């Protein structure tokens, strides 16, 4: 069983709705990530937080707004999404060590949140 | 763009047989990780191999890494129906502050028939 917990497991939202995806880990990891995965495709990185600060934003549209309120929690706020944003959203976490950040550490994923935009 | 390329795209075998999946990548790496994903579920971490390692074992899994060829292989021995899943390799790029930015291969869909 994964130690990264994501809620909700399924979310259906309209294009004008505002919703949030939540992620929690209690492994003491200080790096947390959001990935997006479309059907039959590999996951793609969206955001990386390191020590609760946003360190990587992979040119994600502003309708996706990440937030890291503390070292255990990671949120993804959703607003004015498009149907093509429907996907599996995966949260992950890892330790940070060494000069190059979390390089060399196992990254643990949650079960994901299935998002459908109608 | 995806760094990793995996082959085969799909693999169908009988229970008890071995399954080998290959992954190639383009740039220097710190490490390479293999993940399993059951349909509609999250990613389960299988094994991590660092750039200075050549082979690693974990239970029925054997991973090799050839940095000169920029390739890795995952061998699952004595496969079981429960091994049916998609398998992804993911690389963590070398140099600078990579912060664990994983780049995934396209994945191999493994089907093990009872």
Which range, of A56-60, A90-94, B33-37, B54-58, averages the lowest pLDDT?
A56-60
Cβ atoms of B33 and B47 within 8 Å: the answer is yes
User: What is the signed CA dihedral for B54, A100, A110, B73, rounded to 10 degrees?
Assistant: -20
For residue B7, the model assigns a pLDDT of 84
Cβ atoms of A15 and A82 within 8 Å: the answer is yes
Cβ atoms of A83 and A13 within 8 Å: the answer is no
Is the CA virtual torsion B87, B104, B20, B54 positive or negative?
Answer: negative
Q: Identify the residue among B25, B43, B56, B89 best suited for mutation to test binding to A, counting A beta carbons within 10 A and taking the highest.
A: B43
Strands (E), B29-95: 29-37, 43-50, 55-58, 61-66, 71-76, 85-93
**CA angle (A34 as vertex; A43, B50 as ends), nearest 5:** 65
Closest approach of chain B CAs to the CA of A37, in angstroms? Answer: 10
Contacts of residue B63, Cβ cutoff 8 Å, sequence gap at least 6: B32, B34, B47, B49, B55, B56, B57, B72, B73, B74, B75
d(CA B35, CA B94): 20
| pLDDT, average across residues B31-59 | 93
Closest approach of chain A CAs to the CA of B104, in angstroms? Answer: 6
| pLDDT, average across residues B4-21 | 92
d(CA B76, CA A48): 31
A4, A6, A102: residue with CB nearest B99: A102
**pLDDT tens by residue, A5-45:** 999 999 999 999 999 999 999 999 999 999 999 998 999 99
Residue B1's pLDDT band (cuts 50, 70, 90)? very low
**pLDDT tens by residue, A36-81:** 999 989 999 999 999 999 988 888 999 999 999 999 999 999 999 9
For residue B2, the model assigns a pLDDT of 41
Of residues B31, B34, B74, B33, the one with CA closest to residue B53: B31
A56, A101, A106: residue with CB nearest B45: A106
Q: Identify the residue among B46, B51, B99, B105 best suited for mutation to test binding to A, counting A beta carbons within 10 A and taking the highest.
A: B99
Subunit contact B96:A100, Cβ cutoff 8 A = yes
Q: Chain centroid to CA B72: how far?
A: 7
Tell me the three state secondary structure of residue B41.
coil
- Residue B59 tokens read as 């239970």
Kindly state the percentage of chain B with pLDDT values over 70: 89
Q: What's chain B's average pLDDT? A: 90
Which residue does chain A place closest to B41, by CA atoms? A111
d(CA B65, CA A77): 39
């Amino acid at each position: 069983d994964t130690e990264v917990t994501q809620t909700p497991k399924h979310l259906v939202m309209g294009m004008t709705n505002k919703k949030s995806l939540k992620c929690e880990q209690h492994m003491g990891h200080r790096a947390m990530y959001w990935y997006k995965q479309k059907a039959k495709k590999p996951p793609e990185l969206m955001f990386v937080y390191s020590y609760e600060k946003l360190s990587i934003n992979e040119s994600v549209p502003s309708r996706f707004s990440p937030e890291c309120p503390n070292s255990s929690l990671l949120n993804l706020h959703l607003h004015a999404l498009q149907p093509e944003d429907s996907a599996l959203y995966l949260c992950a976490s890892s330790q940070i060590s060494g000069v190059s950040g979390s390089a060399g550490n196992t990254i643990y994923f949650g079960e994901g949140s299935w998002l459908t935009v109608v | 763009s995806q760094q990793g390329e995996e082959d085969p795209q799909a693999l169908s075998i009988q229970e008890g047989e071995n399954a080998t999946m290959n992954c190639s990548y383009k740039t220097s790496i710190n490490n390479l990780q293999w993940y399993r994903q059951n349909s509609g579920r999250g990613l389960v971490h299988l094994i991590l191999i660092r750039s200075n390692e050549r082979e690693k074992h974990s239970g029925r899994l054997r991973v090799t890494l050839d940095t000169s060829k920029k390739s890795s292989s995952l061998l699952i021995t004595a496969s079981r129906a429960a091994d049916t899943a998609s398998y992804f390799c993911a690389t963590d790029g070398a140099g600078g502050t990579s912060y664990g930015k994983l780049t995934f291969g396209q994945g191999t869909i493994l089907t093990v028939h009872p």
